[in-house]
């Protein structure tokens, strides 16, 4: 399967690492201390979050479907002393990363890129040790969009129209290229519950300060959603 991100990898990965964006900062805060812990960066892309987790002392595996993005992650790793194992694979495939256990699974804006939500969450449940932590960030399912900014759901449709779609907002550059799966908030919550992942913390960080002047009608809405979950320790193997 050719990943949707392969054809934009060069431009997407060219930007310098920026860990100060609100959603990334909130995700890293919820992940917490990782020194000496095994961490999976799920849908890791070119390794932005994986590199920071490795800097904080984690033993990191980065998993992604895009070979092009993984190649750029490996290139960046070679220019540092960081130890990250980048793995090409489908995050929703039942045979991905067999027999591996992680203390933490992090997923930065990856869930909406994955078509099979139940498949990927079943893997998170399988790969986390009992009591392990799953932290993810997504575009807020309730973000309605604004002038030149696509919302979470398909244009000309409603919040209840759950499907993959290509954004058409002039300022929604990446989603115009690779698209995204829109799902309602209840779909995410119920899917997490089905797979033994209990939400313990939520954050709705305000968007970047520049949005206040550049996209004021969008900045007044919830743009990002970040969640931390724990794996139910009592689940039978």
* pLDDT surpasses 60 at 40: yes
pLDDT at 63 > cutoff 60: yes
pLDDT digits (tens, 9 = 90+) for 98-144: 988 999 999 999 999 999 999 999 999 999 999 999 999 999 999 99
What local confidence, expressed as pLDDT, does residue 137 receive? 98
- List C-alpha distances in Å: 103 to 31, 111, 130, 151, 164: 10, 19, 8, 34, 31
- How far is 68 from 62, CA to CA, in rounded Å? 14
Residue 220: CB partners within 8 Å, gap ≥ 6?
none
Contact criterion met (CB below 8 Å) for 112 and 120: no
Per-residue burial over 76-101, b = 16 or more CB atoms within 10 Å of its CB, e = otherwise = bbeeeebebebeeebbbeeebbeeee
Give the range among 88-92, 157-161, 211-215, 233-237 with minimum mean pLDDT.
233-237
Q: The domain 6-139+199-228: what is its CATH number? A: 3.40.50.150
Measured CA to CA, the distance from residue 204 to residue 103 in angstroms comes to: 24
Where residue 236 falls among pLDDT bands split at 50, 70, 90?
low
Torsion, Cα of 50, 54, 57, 59 (10° steps): 80
Domain ranges of the chain: 6-139+199-228
pLDDT at 1: 46
- Where are the alpha helices (H) located in 40-133, listed in sequence order? 48-55, 67-78, 117-127
Alpha-carbon Rg for the chain, nearest whole angstrom, is: 17
User: Quick one: pLDDT at residue 2?
Assistant: 57
The span from the CA of 11 to the CA of 174, in Å, is: 10
- For residue 226, the cross-strand partners are 137, 203
User: Residues 156-165: what's their mean pLDDT?
Assistant: 97
The reply to whether the predicted model has a pTM over 0.75 is: yes
CB 85 within 8 A of CB 24: no
Q: Which residue has the higher pLDDT, 236 or 77?
A: 77
Band of pLDDT at residue 233, cut at 50, 70 and 90 = low
List CB contacts of 88: < 8 A, sequence separation 6 or more: 64, 65, 67, 70
> CA separation (Å) from 95 to 87, 103, 121, 156, 227?
13, 19, 13, 38, 26
Rounded Cα distance between 47 and 76, Å, is: 8
């Amino acid at each position: 399967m050719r990943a949707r991100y392969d054809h934009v990898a060069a431009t997407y990965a060219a930007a310098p690492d920026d860990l100060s964006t609100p959603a990334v900062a909130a995700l890293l805060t919820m992940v917490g201390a990782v020194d000496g812990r095994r961490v999976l960066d799920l849908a890791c892309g070119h390794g932005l979050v994986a590199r920071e987790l490795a800097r904080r002392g984690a033993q990191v595996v980065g998993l992604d479907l895009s070979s092009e993005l993984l190649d750029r992650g490996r290139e960046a790793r070679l220019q540092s002393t960081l130890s990250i194992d980048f793995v090409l694979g489908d995050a929703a495939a039942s045979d991905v990363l067999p027999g591996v256990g992680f203390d933490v699974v992090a997923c930065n804006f990856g869930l909406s890129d994955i078509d099979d939500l139940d498949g990927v969450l079943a893997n998170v449940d399988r790969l986390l040790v009992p009591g392990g932590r799953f932290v993810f960030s997504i575009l807020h399912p309730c973000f309605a969009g604004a002038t030149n900014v696509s919302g979470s759901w398909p244009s000309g449709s409603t919040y209840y129209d759950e499907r993959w779609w290509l954004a058409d907002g002039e300022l929604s550059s990446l989603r115009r290229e690779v698209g995204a799966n829109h799902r309602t908030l209840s779909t995410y919550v119920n899917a997490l519950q089905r797979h033994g992942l209990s939400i313990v913390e939520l954050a709705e960080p305000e968007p970047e300060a520049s949005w206040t002047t550049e996209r004021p009608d969008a900045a007044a809405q919830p743009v990002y959603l970040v969640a931390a979950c724990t794996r139910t320790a009592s689940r039978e193997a």
